[in-house]
Amino acid sequence: MKLVIVHDFLNQYGGAERVVGYFLRVFPKVSIYTSIYFPEDTFDLFRDENITTTFMQKVPGVRKYYKKLFFLYPCAFRSLKLDDCDIILGSSSSYSHFINKGRNSIHINYCYTPPRFLWETKSYLKGEKISYALFTIVKPMIYFLRKMDLRQSKKVDYYIAISEYVRSKIKKIYNKESVVIYPPVEVKKYRFRKRKEDFYLIVSRLKGYKRIDIAIKAFNILGKELLIVGTGEDEKNLRKISGKNIKFLGILNDKKLLDLYSRAKALVFTGKEDFGLTPIESQASGTPVIAYKEGGVSETIINGETGLFFEKQEPQVLVKIIKKFENDSLSAVKCRENAMRFDYINFKKNITNFIRSVYKEKIVS
């Protein structure tokens, strides 16, 4: 059985890229196909892999303006030739599912979300701080790409959703069924500590839709120490509104990050995410999570036991929940136990069983 992995982009330190890394552990030495790949902008684990890119790799300015060239990606992925593959395992939140498969190939789409810029356009553009004038220009393109996206979804043989939340979106948008296989965390590598220190933690790409500004405004009011790990295009704006109690640490290596996870009083998670790996990583360290109660976190955090939810993305609401958290006593042991549901061992078993079953079904038919 020849299997290949197709991923949207390899140019950032994100949860989807971590998942691709786990795919490579399950299926070592398989080929990866992606639109663009910049080794210095993503995890080192890809440096020794067999990676094929599209013509997008040579487009001038693509490293900086890869999002603004969105209209080229469907063609880029369609240009890849994968006729001799048995299984195409897509890793997608945008374009990689536009791949053309051979007559005898099975296309499995591990879907982080149907493309947000197409199907949640207003909230996406607001988070990316795109002007109304630019939106007016791209609106006809978005309408056209939506129709293309719907047609392409019919060519996918199987969808795997990363959460029940995404499963409902796949059904609503594409009218297709899917199974849920949660992204993994290797729980044993996280340092478990019961005794916590007096600081809070954010681990995130610094993008508008992540709503880190809510946490900064809340902690400006509280005066408590907040450490922020990550970089992104919104960093400059976030630094401007931050008090002296808020520190930006940039990208950290795993050793330093695991240490912070284990010592933090709580992880603060302010965005609406389709799953969210960092809350699982935090719980694996015995550290509870304070999270906005929308999206995938409602499936990964036990409210009142491994974390607390706030229901409006407003600084004052978050302040209130943090004050409540300060007076509660959540169990580090329960956090770790809850994280075990998402351990890599379960992911490996679920993904291999699913692929074997659909491949066997194909052979029999």
Our CA angle for 323, 272, 119, nearest 5°, is: 160
Which of 8-17, 50-59, 256-265 has the weakest average pLDDT?
8-17
- One domain, residues 86 and 130: yes
The enclosing H or E element of 18 equals helix 15-26
What backbone phi and psi angles, to 5 degrees, belong to 249? Answer: -105, -5
**Shared domain check, 23 and 167:** yes
Q: How far apart are CA 36 and CA 335, in angstroms?
A: 37
Q: What is the CATH number of the domain that holds 136?
A: 3.40.50
Same domain, 17 and 100: yes
pLDDT tens string 128-148: 666 666 777 778 888 999 999
Residue 365 pLDDT exceeds 60: no
Alpha-helix residue ranges (DSSP H) falling in 193-263 = 212-222, 235-240, 254-263
Residue ranges making up the domain that contains 118: 3-184+344-364
Structure confidence at residue 131 (pLDDT): 64
Residues 179 and 213 in one domain: no
The mean pLDDT of 206-230, rounded to a whole number, is 96
Give the pLDDT confidence score for residue 137 in this predicted structure: 77
Q: Are both 16 and 165 inside the same structural domain? A: yes
Looking at every residue in the chain, the average pLDDT score rounds to 93
Q: What is the largest CA-CA distance in the chain?
A: 65
Beta bridge partners of 23: none
In order, the DSSP letters of 291-342 are EESSBTHHHH--BTTTEEEESSS-HHHHHHHHHHHHH----HHHHHHHHGGG
In 3D space, the residue among 190, 193, 188 whose CA is nearest the CA of residue 331 turns out to be: 193
- What phi and psi, each to the nearest 5 degrees, are found at residue 59? -70, 125
Crossing angle of helices 164-174 and 132-153, rounded to 10°: 90
Helix (H, G, I), strand (E, B) or coil at 196: coil
The confidence band for 362, taking pLDDT boundaries of 50, 70 and 90, is: low
Q: Name, in order, each residue with C-beta under 8 angstroms of 311's C-beta and a sequence gap of 6 or more.
A: 292, 293, 317
Q: Give residue 124's pLDDT.
A: 72
Q: Is the dihedral of CA 94, 291, 332, 228 positive or negative?
A: positive
pLDDT at 13: 85
- 3-state class (DSSP) for residue 78: helix
Provide the pLDDT for residue 136.
77
Q: Among 172, 177, 173, 171, which Cα is nearest to 157's?
A: 177
CATH of the domain at 217: 3.40.50.2000
Phi, psi of 314 (to 5 degrees): -135, 135
- Count the domains in the chain: 2
Same domain, 71 and 162: yes
Note the pLDDT of residue 327. 92
What does the alpha-carbon distance between residue 127 and residue 165 come to, in Å, rounded to a whole number? 20
- State the Cα–Cα distance between residues 23 and 109, nearest whole angstrom: 13
**One domain, residues 164 and 254:** no
pLDDT, average across residues 90-104: 92
Instruction: Locate all alpha helices (DSSP H) within 154-226, ordered by sequence.
Output: 164-174, 212-222
What distances in angstroms separate CA 241 from CA 221, 246, 251, 318, one per listed residue? 12, 10, 20, 17
9 and 137 fall within a common domain: yes
Upper half-sphere CA count for residue 140 (Cβ side, 13 Å): 2
Range name among 100-109, 192-201, 275-284 with the lowest pLDDT average: 100-109
Same domain, 17 and 83: yes
- The order of strands in the sheet holding 200-203 is 246-250, 226-229, 200-203, 266-269, 289-292, 307-310
245 and 143 in one domain?
A: no
Same domain, 157 and 219: no
More confident residue, 1 or 307: 307
Query: Distance between CA 169 and CA 327 in Å, rounded?
Result: 37
For residue 329, the model assigns a pLDDT of 87
Pair 259, 203 in one domain: yes
What confidence score (pLDDT) does residue 206 get?
94
Helix H or strand E encompassing 185:
none
Task: Give percent of the chain above pLDDT 70.
Answer: 96
Per-residue pLDDT at 162: 97
For residues 348 and 271, give the distance between their C-alpha atoms in angstroms, rounded to a whole number: 28
